[in-house]
Amino acid sequence: MLALIVSLCGCAALMSNVTNSLAADLSATILNSDDPDTVREGIPAYILMVDSFLRSDPENTSLLVAASTLNGAFTVFTTGEQQKRLAQKSLDYAKQAVCTESGFCNLAGDPFAEFREQIDGIGASDVPVFYQLGVAWTGWLQAHSDDWAAIGQLDRAKYVMSRVVELDETFSDGAGHLYLGGMETLLPASMGGRPEKGKGHFERAIEIADGRYLMTKVIYAEQYARLVFDKSLHDRLLTEVINADPEFPGMTLTNVLAQQRAAVLLADSDEYF
């Protein structure tokens, strides 16, 4: 009986390792694809598969982060209520990962002073899971940018990502700065936004990634340059994106999407400005 229990435990651990590896490989395959149409059609099946893994292993942090990442990635291809549902699902998975990993299970509802104390207490080893929380929270805010009650959570999302950047600003090629830039330019200065602070984050993200992550320049152009009516900066950034080589490990899909978005924004530049 003891041998059987040991054997079963070993099988469970093996299956957990296999599913973690498969989820990670799926995410990597998607991010390295240069075919957004195929990814658009394929991601729903991947999401369902990772969801099925979580049914039998609901506290697996690696799977929760992968599920959050996949749901968040698919919001790029959606609009309206579907986008909001996926963004909510991505955020829920990220919150569950944080709850499982750190025991912080009510970050959106705790008093802000208590929330801040919890986030201040995380360390370098917590960066991956809290980075995903910041990413998912930012995506959720973008999907609910028409809801002032949702915008009320902006300071919490910003605080999470600020702490991640403080601990390791180079994590994920400096993408933490990109998300902070996006959050600082989500609103104009007259409504509480801080465009110039956002500009600094965009510039730092570009510097850390050596300009390889093209979406940074697109969001910089769309959310900062348009916000402050800087046509010269807007057109320069978008032209650089369109002329760049999109293929780079872990960035190819996003870079191809960035080039598509850059072409649309640049074509509309004269009319906008």
The string of pLDDT tens digits covering residues 189-239 is 888 889 999 999 999 999 999 999 999 999 999 999 999 999 999 999 999
Residue 162 belongs to a domain: no
Mean pLDDT of the residues in the chain: 88
Boundary (domain end) residue, out of 90, 124, 141 = 141
User: Which residue matches tokens 């110039």?
Assistant: 196
Residue 27 belongs to a domain: yes
* Residue 6 in this model has a pLDDT that exceeds 50: no
**Distance from C-alpha of 196 to C-alpha of 51, rounded to nearest angstrom:** 40
Greater pLDDT, 150 or 270: 270
Query: What is the structure's pLDDT at 225?
Result: 97
Position 13 confidence tier, pLDDT thresholds 50, 70, 90: very low
Residue 10 belongs to a domain: no
Query: What is the structure's pLDDT at 100?
Result: 95
Residue 5 belongs to a domain: no
**Whole-number percent of the chain with pLDDT over 90:** 62
Query: What is the structure's pLDDT at 24?
Result: 67
**Distance from C-alpha of 31 to C-alpha of 182, rounded to nearest angstrom:** 21
Query: What is the structure's pLDDT at 23?
Result: 64
User: Which residue matches tokens 């991505």?
Assistant: 90
The string of pLDDT tens digits covering residues 82-127 is 999 999 999 999 999 999 999 999 998 899 999 999 999 999 999 9
Same domain (yes/no): 135, 219: no
Q: Quick check: 183 and 158 in contact, CB under 8 A?
A: yes
Same domain (yes/no): 263, 173: yes
Domain extent for 225: 169-273
* Residue 25 in this model has a pLDDT that exceeds 90: no
Same domain (yes/no): 43, 97: yes
Q: What is the 3-state secondary structure (H, E, C) of the chain?
A: CHHHHHHHHHHHHHHHHHHHHHHHHHHHHHHCCCCHHHHHHHHHHHHHHHHHHHHHCCCCHHHHHHHHHHHHHHHHHCCHHHHHHHHHHHHHHHHHHHHHHHCCCCCCCCCHHHHHHHHHCCCHHHHHHHHHHHHHHHHHHHHCCCCHHHHCCHHHHHHHHHHHHHHCCCHHHHHHHHHHHHHHCCCCHHHCCCHHHHHHHHHHHHHHCCCCCCHHHHHHHHHHHCCCCCHHHHHHHHHHHHHCCCCCCCCHHHHHHHHHHHHHHHHCHHHHC
* Residue 9 in this model has a pLDDT that exceeds 60: no
Residue 156 belongs to a domain: no
Greater pLDDT, 53 or 159: 159
Which residue from 140, 186, 179, 139 is spatially nearest to 161, judged by alpha carbons?
Answer: 179
pTM here?
Answer: 0.87
CATH number for the domain spanning 24: value is: 1.25.40.920
Residue 192 belongs to a domain: yes
Residue 187 belongs to a domain: yes
Query: What is the structure's pLDDT at 7?
Result: 39
Cβ neighbors of 180 (< 8 A, separation 6 or more) are 158, 161, 162, 165, 198, 201
Give the chain's domain count: 2
Query: What is the structure's pLDDT at 19?
Result: 59
Residue 6 belongs to a domain: no
**Whole-number percent of the chain with pLDDT over 70:** 91
Mean pLDDT for 62-88 is 90
Same domain (yes/no): 40, 135: yes
**Sign (positive/negative) of CA torsion 209, 215, 218, 224?**
negative
Query: What is the structure's pLDDT at 14?
Result: 34
